């Protein structure tokens, strides 16, 4: 079985879906077999740093990310600090509408990876409402290789319910992935006006990560 990837990245400036890269089978194209994926269950794992990756987090007022700032919950992991004022799961990685900044959950891979599939939970459409307008939660990501930014994008819940899978495929392999939350957004992608809702904002837990190391890619020629 072959995996042919069509990747998308959302412009942080315009909020418009833009294709990062696309691959299609043609004569002589080198593609990769569906092998070499590593699955990490962050809910039931007994290790602080399981299966070739390390977790760090940065709370809103932290100077730098640390392992101590990682929050753990029965449904997943995130940043341990509280944000906003409404009752919420403290371990979620969330945007603080009062401080106007987000916490971060950071995944450092032992070797560069080509793609990750991340299962998140407690991530909802229509979570906020103001003046007859419904607002969705939204998150973002930045991928790095050796400290250099190689890709970034935004992600939204595509359907009702809190559980979703986020596929991240940067234009180049990466060894560090930073995930964060943004202010609530409307269906058109417009961010909520600051100060309208200060009791809550976008947040999520990470339950599971599947990633594919560069070393696992075995190219084959397609004729």
Angle at 81 between CA 77 and CA 86, to 5 degrees: 100
Tokens of 61: 């007022």
Give the model's confidence band at 112: pLDDT under 50 very low, under 70 low, under 90 confident, else very high. Answer: very high
Give the model's confidence band at 34: pLDDT under 50 very low, under 70 low, under 90 confident, else very high. Answer: low
Q: How far apart are CA 83 and CA 63, in angstroms?
A: 16
Query: What percentage of residues in the chain have a pLDDT greater than 70?
Result: 77
Q: State the fold for domain 37-215.
A: Jelly Rolls (2.60.120)
Query: Which range among 3-12, 29-38, 88-97, 102-111 shows the weakest confidence by mean pLDDT?
Result: 3-12
Q: Taking residues 122-137, what's their average pLDDT?
A: 95
Q: Higher confidence at residue 103 or residue 11?
A: 103
| Inter-residue contact 121 to 74 (CB < 8 Å) | no
Question: What residues does each domain of the chain span?
Answer: 37-215
Q: Higher confidence at residue 31 or residue 128?
A: 128
Token pair 């003046």 is found at: 131
Q: How far apart are CA 42 and CA 31, in angstroms?
A: 30
* Bridge partner residues of 144 (DSSP): 149, 176
Coil vs helix vs strand at 214: helix
Position 51 pLDDT exceeds 80: no
Q: Higher confidence at residue 5 or residue 171?
A: 171
pTM of the model: 0.80
């Amino acid at each position: 079985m072959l995996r042919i990837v069509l990747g998308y990245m959302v412009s942080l400036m315009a909020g418009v879906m833009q294709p990062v890269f696309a691959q299609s089978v043609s004569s002589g194209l080198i593609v990769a077999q569906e092998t070499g994926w590593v699955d990490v269950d962050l809910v039931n794992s007994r290790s602080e740093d399981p299966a070739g990756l390390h977790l760090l987090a940065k709370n809103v007022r932290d100077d730098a990310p640390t392992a101590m700032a990682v929050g753990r919950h029965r449904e997943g992991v995130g940043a341990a600090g509280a944000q906003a004022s409404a009752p919420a799961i403290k371990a979620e990685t969330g945007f603080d509408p009062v401080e106007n900044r987000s916490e971060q959950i950071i995944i450092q891979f032992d070797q560069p990876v080509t793609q990750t599939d991340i299962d998140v939970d407690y991530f909802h459409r229509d979570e906020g409402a103001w003046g007859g307008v419904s607002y969705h939660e939204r998150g973002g990501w930045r991928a790095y290789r050796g400290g250099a930014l190689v890709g970034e994008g935004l992600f939204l819940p595509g359907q009702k319910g809190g559980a979703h899978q986020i596929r991240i495929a940067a234009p180049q392999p990466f060894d560090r992935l930073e995930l964060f939350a943004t202010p609530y957004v409307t269906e058109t992608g417009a961010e909520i006006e600051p100060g309208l809702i200060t009791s809550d904002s976008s947040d999520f837990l990470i339950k599971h990560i599947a990633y594919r190391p560069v070393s696992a890619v075995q190219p084959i020629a397609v004729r």
